[in-house]
Amino acid sequence: MTAAQAGCLTAALEIGYHLLDRGVPALTAVEQAIRVLEQSRLFNAGRGSHVQLDGVRRMDASIMEGRDLQAGAVASIEGIVHPISAARLVMEQTTHVLLVGKPASAFARHCKLERQPRRPSGQAARTSTMTKAWSPKTLALYRAMMASGPVLRKRAGKETVGAVALDRTGTVAAGASTGGIDMMLPGRVGDTPIIGCGVYADNDSGAVSMTGLGEGIIRIAVAKEICDRLARGERPGAAAAQVLKKLVQRIDGAAGSLVLAPDGRFVITHVTPRMTAGWWNGKGRPTVGDCFR
């Protein structure tokens, strides 16, 4: 975690908490905290999103509240800064949960969300610059699909962003936003926009937001399984630990989780070497770190 990332995360926590302290719903606190991270270019979301093999940023996001189980999500959305706000608009202005691809992008433009270029400027390179660090299987499939096209050099050190919150009414909310994994096949979608996998929120159980390798998180439906354990009375730490253990043992997955119970108990935990995260209850300074064991 860089100093800039730590500072940005601290700012997001402060904004989220102060909103809650003023009586704002958990859903808004989650959205606004994530918007700070999307705007920063420091994380794998919004302006800092990874690109797919054709050099285009296609982003995913979702948001959910626990009172009425309302949820909204977007997948493979292009050309906007704040996918998390697009996800909330899907929830509030349509009868749907998930919009994908070009129609999702058109919906965001219709709602006048802040825009950004589909392709990051000044970083495009030709297919011939691909390195051995990229999966030969993926590259071979991409070549077969696309023949040729621009790509971006591999980048690292950025993470999916997410947040969970509990407001004064006892309502929980969860959200997540991501640019996916670097150099993925065009059209790849991970866990983030899939309700029950990347996020879940229910006032009867709690709120969960995930980060990590989406393919594994989807196969376990991690967020919903953690919430189901919370509903059966398990502590947040125990519930998250058991599901992440299953993720590793069954499919060699890698992930981290933010888990919040309806009574305010919470845990930040991960089976990856690092996970940049933090929390704040309004006392002292926000706690921010990159290892929570």
Please indicate whether residue 178 is annotated as part of the active site: no
Q: Which of 2, 28, 129, 160 is catalytic?
A: 160
**Three-state SS across the chain?**
CCHHHHHHHHHHHHHHHHHHHCCCCHHHHHHHHHHHHHHCCCCCCHHHCCCECCCCCCEEEEEEECCCCCEEEEEEECCECCHHHHHHHHHHHCCCCEEEHHHHHHHHHHCCCCECCCCCCCCEEEHHHCCCCCCHHHHHHHHHHHCCCEEECCCCCCCCEEEEEECCCCCEEEEEEECCCCCECCCCCCCCCCECCCEEEECCCEEEEEEECHHHHHHHCHHHHHHHHHHCCCCHHHHHHHHHHHHHHHHCCCEEEEEECCCCCEEEEECCCCCCEEECCCCCCCEEECCCC
Distances (CA, A) of 133 to 12, 55, 123, 160: 33, 17, 18, 21
Give the residue numbers marked as catalytic: 160
